[in-house]
Chain A
């Protein structure tokens, strides 16, 4: 399997605070890789570096074999908030992504392509709905369709489900896994939820709280859709939680319950 992203000796610091220091990491092409860790450990920062929205203080990054500044047009980005523009309807937001990316075609052709992305996510019926009339889950689906419409090689997702209710989150997790299996897209998914990482990812990279180091790099061999009641799931879950020790804030954050 080829490499999608390669970090070498990455250093990131905000003021005096060092977030990442000498991080080495490789993300494989075609994987659904979850970057899992507590808040402030630098997992979203890594995503920003891949997307060339942030420059590291030191180290090298290669995205699809090139520096990030030459690869940005091969990426799709989904943020924690949907970040839809309120002056366009749902399909208009997806067309906006295509227009910004500079894809050729008339407005009608772009709308057709946007509609294909909406159909792939199962939200074609929302096309003409004003952005502010969509529910949180619908807005995030539009944001995912907007990123997919530009047909990226790598899809970057920065805690895209964290602001959604439990039901919506569960449905979207399943949809994301289906999407990944059908398209073979490389997905890099940031989360601070152990269950979520194990349900969606086929690889989970676990980061420690600051000063950040990689605590574990797990290949998740659970069959999809993942049975969260299975013994193997519980085993992997416990293995990750144990890495943070017992009774820590990180465990509470990663599992969503007080330990």
Chain B
């Protein structure tokens, strides 16, 4: 279709409307949080600190927990979550591989182990962790790992189901070695799913870590929150939540988003 003055005008109007909408959306995304912040500040002036601490105080405690005198509490939680995510991914991968390689185990893994791990609440594991391992790193990592295993299993299972049969047949035309097929063809196809599992586990891990540390740890953000609860230090409770928000957001934007883009580019949309 050739552009007439009328159609060109229409396109121009649409572009302007799109630009305005985009500006409006940005403004809203900035203005609403800023408005809430102002409202928070305004309300906190007349409220007791135990009910609603001032934003400045929360910011100070957030800084303390991230980079200041109590930063080791945040990084202790971070380290535990990383260890648990890796452990959950490995255990989940072994269980899924077992179900795949030995079909006789598929019902056990898929119908018993997975629903069992999926349904036991974090609080239950947290109490059992303290009973079995005492107040320790092991207790927290144990709870985290058991909660995260199902997330890893479900993602890897989906990945295995979605393996490109064409590529697998291509692989089989070159080799009869299951190990070579696994390493050279299947594993690279599973990377996006493993990445999704890690991403999900990392964010869920923070929620679970705080519960586990609340009950059974000598350090960590959960312990910080427990102490803050006991001393009615609401600012620290707020700050703990904000620290988790910041760490998860930074990890998402700086690590997982770029990795997901690389994985998507490498994996394409399956076989070419």
A residues neighboring B (CB under 8 Å): 51, 53, 72, 75, 77, 79, 81-87, 96-97, 99-102, 131-132, 134, 139, 150
**B174 and A85 within 8 A (CB):** no
A77 to B172, CA, bound (A): 10
Q: 21 A–B contact pairs at CB < 8 A? A: A53-B169, A53-B173, A77-B170, A77-B174, A82-B272, A83-B166, A83-B271, A84-B271, A84-B272, A86-B266, A86-B267, A86-B272, A87-B267, A96-B184, A96-B185, A99-B180, A100-B177, A100-B180, A131-B272, A132-B272, A134-B272
**B180 and A86 within 8 A (CB):** no
A82 to B174, CA, bound (A): 14
Q: How far is the CB of B126 from chain A (nearest CB, A)?
A: 40
Contact with A72, one of B167, B176, B180, B188 (Cβ below 8 angstroms):
B176
**A85 and B271 within 8 A (CB):** yes
**Is the C-beta of B268 less than 8 angstroms from some C-beta in chain A?**
yes
**A100 and B271 within 8 A (CB):** no
Complex interface: chain A residues within 8 A of B270 (CB): 86
Count A/B pairs, Cβ under 8 Å. 67
Contact with A83, one of B167, B176, B188, B266 (Cβ below 8 angstroms):
B167
**For residue A103, which residue of chain B has the nearest CB?**
B174
Contact with B173, one of A77, A99, A134 (Cβ below 8 angstroms):
A77
**Is the C-beta of B219 less than 8 angstroms from some C-beta in chain A?**
no
Known: A79-B170, A85-B188, A86-B267. A102 touches B272 (CB 8 A): no
Complex interface: chain A residues within 8 A of B170 (CB): 77, 79, 83
**A81 and B180 within 8 A (CB):** no
**For residue A143, which residue of chain B has the nearest CB?**
B170
Q: How far is the CB of A190 from chain B (nearest CB, A)?
A: 14
Q: How many residues of B contact A (CB 8 A)?
A: 23
**Is the C-beta of B60 less than 8 angstroms from some C-beta in chain A?**
no
Q: How far is the CB of A78 from chain B (nearest CB, A)?
A: 9
**Is the C-beta of B260 less than 8 angstroms from some C-beta in chain A?**
no
**Is the C-beta of B55 less than 8 angstroms from some C-beta in chain A?**
no
Complex interface: chain B residues within 8 A of A150 (CB): 174
**Is the C-beta of B171 less than 8 angstroms from some C-beta in chain A?**
yes
**Is the C-beta of B181 less than 8 angstroms from some C-beta in chain A?**
yes
B residues neighboring A (CB under 8 Å): 166-167, 169-177, 180-181, 184-185, 188, 266-272
**A100 and B171 within 8 A (CB):** yes
A249 to B271, CA, bound (A): 31
**B166 and A81 within 8 A (CB):** yes
Q: How far is the CB of A62 from chain B (nearest CB, A)?
A: 18
**For residue B175, which residue of chain A has the nearest CB?**
A100
**For residue A93, which residue of chain B has the nearest CB?**
B272
Q: How far is the CB of B194 from chain A (nearest CB, A)?
A: 14
Known: A53-B173, A100-B174. A83 touches B272 (CB 8 A): yes
**For residue B180, which residue of chain A has the nearest CB?**
A100
Complex interface: chain B residues within 8 A of A131 (CB): 268, 272
**B185 and A101 within 8 A (CB):** no
Q: How far is the CB of A149 from chain B (nearest CB, A)?
A: 10
Q: How far is the CB of A66 from chain B (nearest CB, A)?
A: 14
**For residue A86, which residue of chain B has the nearest CB?**
B268
**B173 and A85 within 8 A (CB):** no
Complex interface: chain A residues within 8 A of B167 (CB): 83, 85
A96 to B170, CA, bound (A): 11
A51 to B169, CA, bound (A): 10
**B166 and A102 within 8 A (CB):** no
**B169 and A79 within 8 A (CB):** yes
Complex interface: chain B residues within 8 A of A72 (CB): 173, 176
A77 to B173, CA, bound (A): 6
Complex interface: chain B residues within 8 A of A84 (CB): 271-272
Known: A53-B169, A96-B184. A102 touches B177 (CB 8 A): yes
**For residue A80, which residue of chain B has the nearest CB?**
B166
